[in-house]
Structure 1
Amino acid sequence: MKLELLVLFLATATARRHRNRTTLAPDNIIVNGYNAYEGKAPYAVGLRLNNGAVGGGSVIGNTWVLTAAHCLTTESVEINYGSNRGWDGQLKVNVNKDNFFRHPGYPNTAGHDIGLIRTPHVNFNDRINKVVLPKFSQKAERFENWWCVACGWGGMANGQLANWLQCMDVQVISNSECARSYGNVASTDMCTRQTDGKSVCGGDSGGALVTHDNPMQIGVITFASAGCKSGPSGYTRVTDHLDWIREKSGIAYY
């Protein structure tokens, strides 16, 4: 069943493959991460797709979740809010594909694996809250060398899902450094260095990369090295999609 699920998810994602790189699908939890304390990432949500796959997302408004476009190639998704136990949160909301918005550049153009889910209104509290996005004045910022955190609930190698949110602290690298591992990285992608074996992995897709200082989301988890052990972690760059996010959701920071 696990192998069938992996094949199905990769096929529906129209996976972009470069040298030693793969779009994420259910396989392992964040590699060499740590258990998050409850409330560390109140913006983080767990996604259960109706095809059986899992992913992540981030709350960016009372009625909006930001995720990867390849997590939205399904009929519906269950969004789990408000707990480090990703599949047993304070709140579960089911949303159908009429409320999915994938970037028009996906999947035919690399670097646009980003999507939005319009949700019923969700109230914020100490366990459910939004993450802010970069300001429009930061569009040109590449965030190289910034320290960030990425979290997720990817499935484990034994076929079971992670029961507790896993996080890793990582540093953004230049796209030229990332390209040394993958051969080709779109300008609208971004990467973090694999340090001490830390990497995003299957089932983490759609989760947020958030800066440590003045927390804001600068990336959406989308790809990793084959096996999640031999290269940088990859993300869609949020600053290059601020206009599209504003157009679809009305959310913008100035």
Structure 2
Amino acid sequence: MRLVVTLLILSFIILSFSAKPKIKPRIAGGYPARPYTIVFLVGIVYARTQLSALEFGAGTIISNQWILTVRGVLMYQYIEVHLGSKRAYWGYDILRVYKQNFYFHYDKKRHIALVKVPYQKFDYRLNRLRVPRSANALERFAGGRTVICGWGNAKSDGELPDWMRCTIVKVITNRECAKYYPPLETHEMCTSGEGGKGVCDGDFGGAVALIDGTPTLIGVIHLRPDNCSGGYPSIHIRVSDHLKWIRSVSGVYIP
């Protein structure tokens, strides 16, 4: 497995003319994830162009063949999807997925995206995270507790860590978030940065998972504050506002 992973990463590096991977800060104020708990998150290795450095992002499994993420990690001809990975570059299974399997929202202001992959059988290492029910399409989830996870340090120029990190943050209203940023679009949402917790570069495309009640994917990590650990909110794409689009593109059953 280690040899296979090494060869796949090297293939990306060769195409990038030996560009060094860009290691950036990620989850701020987090803790190491326990094994086999965040089985819905996948690591994505990508490049912006053939000549650019490698970068790391994430996506969320919503069915046996579909991953929800953001447009920003789908810029090159293909990506590498690392399944069942506690490290962004070390999945137990690795898929090379080409751009004909990338699906973008018809409204270019909305950065949500879908990736179609070969059928995956779920087990203790890999499973989906449910999207909200149709009846919750207008739910804002303000005050709800969520878990956000990703790969990396909470400071710039740090070494890539050995393990996925997570943190618990609360959803805040868009009105509260507007105290820190210009007014958000209705299809965006915020989580609190209280206690220096939040997302940072490299977490993009990952899950904002509601943990009050049935675990549910309510947001896709999209934007972060300039100071990742400075107590500012993080901005995400609101999944409940995109249920019709998700269903129309993927055919995923949403009760």
User: TM-score of the superposition, structure 1-length normalised?
Assistant: 0.85
SS at match of 2:73: helix
Asked if 1:46 is matched to 2:43, the reply is: yes
1:37-57 Cα deviation digits (max 9, x unpaired): 011110010000144111000
SS at match of 2:81: strand
SS at match of 2:247: helix
Asked if structure 2 preserves the Cα contact closer than 8 Å seen for 1:242 and 1:252, the reply is no
Larger radius of gyration: 2
Q: Which structure exhibits the higher relative contact order, with contacts defined as CA atoms closer than 8 Å and separated by 6 or more residues?
A: 1
Asked if structure 2 preserves the Cα contact closer than 8 Å seen for 1:76 and 1:97, the reply is yes
Give the counterpart of 1:68 among 67, 70, 78: 70
Asked if 1:205 is matched to 2:207, the reply is: no
1:135-188 Cα deviation digits (max 9, x unpaired): 111001000000010101146622533331110100000001111101221110
User: What pairs up with 1:90-105 in 2 under 5 angstroms?
Assistant: 90-105=92-107
Q: 1:224 aligns to what?
A: 224
Letter in 2 for 1:83: S
Asked if 1:234 is matched to 2:235, the reply is: yes
Asked if structure 2 preserves the Cα contact closer than 8 Å seen for 1:133 and 1:252, the reply is no
SS at match of 1:65: strand
Structure-2 separation of matches of 1:162 and 1:47 = 16
Letter in 2 for 1:78: E
Structure-1 separation of matches of 2:194 and 2:227 = 15
Q: 2:170 aligns to what?
A: 171
Q: 1:153 aligns to what?
A: 151
Asked if 1:32 is matched to 2:33, the reply is: no
**How far did residue 229 of structure 1 move?**
3.0
**How far did residue 26 of structure 1 move?**
5.9
1:14-51 Cα deviation digits (max 9, x unpaired): xxxxxxxxxxx962020110000011110010000144
Which contiguous aligned blocks of 4+ residues in structure 1 show a shift greater than 6 angstroms?
A: none
Taking every aligned residue pair, what percent have the same amino acid on both sides?
A: 36
Q: What are structure 2's unaligned runs of at least 5 residues?
A: 1-21, 49-53
Asked if structure 1 preserves the Cα contact closer than 8 Å seen for 2:69 and 2:114, the reply is yes
Q: 1:131 aligns to what?
A: 129
Asked if structure 1 preserves the Cα contact closer than 8 Å seen for 2:223 and 2:234, the reply is yes
Give the counterpart of 1:144 among 142, 145, 159: 142
Q: 1:18 aligns to what?
A: none
Give the counterpart of 1:80 among 82, 89, 92: 82
Structure-1 separation of matches of 2:26 and 2:187 = 25
**How far did residue 227 of structure 1 move?**
2.4
CA RMSD of aligned residues (A): 1.5
1:47-105 Cα deviation digits (max 9, x unpaired): 00144111000111111111012111221100001131231121000001110011122
Asked if 1:185 is matched to 2:184, the reply is: yes
